Amino acid sequence: MNIDRWTRRVALLFVALTALLSGCTTYVTTQVTAFSDWSGSDATRTYAFTRHEDQKNNLELSAYERIVANELALHAFREVSHDDARYLVELAYGIRSDIVTVAQPVYYNPWPGPYWGRPFDMWGPWGPFPATYVNQSYPVFTHLLGIRITERASGREVYNVTARNVSEESSLVRAMPYLARSALADFPLANGAVHTVKIPLGGGGGADANEVSLPAATPPAGAASAPKAAQ
C-alpha cells in the first residue's frame, strides 16, 4: 500500500469518527415562553381537553392531545370527564416554512491529479488560495405548540405556555413530542418566563440542568400528515 492510499484511508476514518461523535450530541432546541397565575395543588390537578366546535372530529388534534396528556401525567395531572374537571386544557399548533440562504465556501484547486493532497503538502487540502463563496438556499420549518389551561368553573386563565423550535424537519407530527416535553418541562414556570430546553434527538443520553431527556414516542397511527393550525 502506498503512502497516498494510506493517507486517504486515515482521513476517511477520521471523518467517519467525527460524524459518529457529533451525532451523539445532537439536540432539539426549543424556546419556551410562559405566562402563569398558577396556584393549584396536586390534589386538584384534574383536567379535560376542550375544543372549538369545528374541531370535534379532528384526528390530528386527537393525536396531539394524547402526546400532551402523557406529559401532563408526569406533573400529577389526571384526565377526567369534562364535568368533573377542575381545569380545561386547550391546544394550538402550527408549522411554517421559510427559506434560509447561507454563504458556502468553494475552494479552487490549481494542482489536480497526483500532486494534490500528498502527505507533505504544507498547504493542506485547499492550497494557498482563499476560498470563494456561493449562496445556497434551503428550507427550514418553524414548529409551534401552545397549551392553555383555564379553570372550568370560572373560565380564568391560569397557565399559558408556548413552545417553538426551528429545524429542517418538515413534519409537525415528529416534532410534537419534543414541543410537548419542552412546554411542560419545568411546570409551572414563573409568569413571563422565557427559557430554552435542549432535548437529545431520539431521546437517548443523559440530561444536565438545561436538558430534558425525551423517551421514545410514536404518534398514534391516526395522526393526519398535513399540519393545520388550531386556534
At residue 17, the pLDDT reads: 42
Round to the nearest angstrom and report the end-to-end CA distance of the chain.
Answer: 66
What is the pTM for the complete model shown? 0.68
Q: Give per-residue pLDDT as tens, 197-208.
A: 999 987 533 333
Q: Does domain 24-98+142-203 have CATH number 3.20.20.70?
A: no
Q: Give per-residue pLDDT as tens, 163-185.
A: 999 998 899 999 999 999 999 99
3-state helix, strand, coil in the chain (%, to 5): 30, 35, 40
DSSP assignment, residue 211? B
The β-bridge relationship of strands 46-49 and 87-106 is: parallel
> For residue 63, is pLDDT > 80?
yes
- The amino acid that residue 139 corresponds to is P
At residue 13, the pLDDT reads: 43
124 Cβ neighbours under 8 A, 6+ residues apart: none
DSSP H or E segment with residue 162 = strand 157-167
Of the pLDDT bands very low, low, confident and very high (cuts 50, 70, 90), residue 100 is: confident
Arithmetic mean of pLDDT over the chain: 77
> For residue 70, is pLDDT > 80?
yes
Q: Give per-residue pLDDT as tens, 110-139.
A: 655 555 555 555 555 555 566 788 888 888
- How far is the C-alpha of 172 from the C-alpha of 230, rounded, in Å? 13
> For residue 44, is pLDDT > 50?
yes
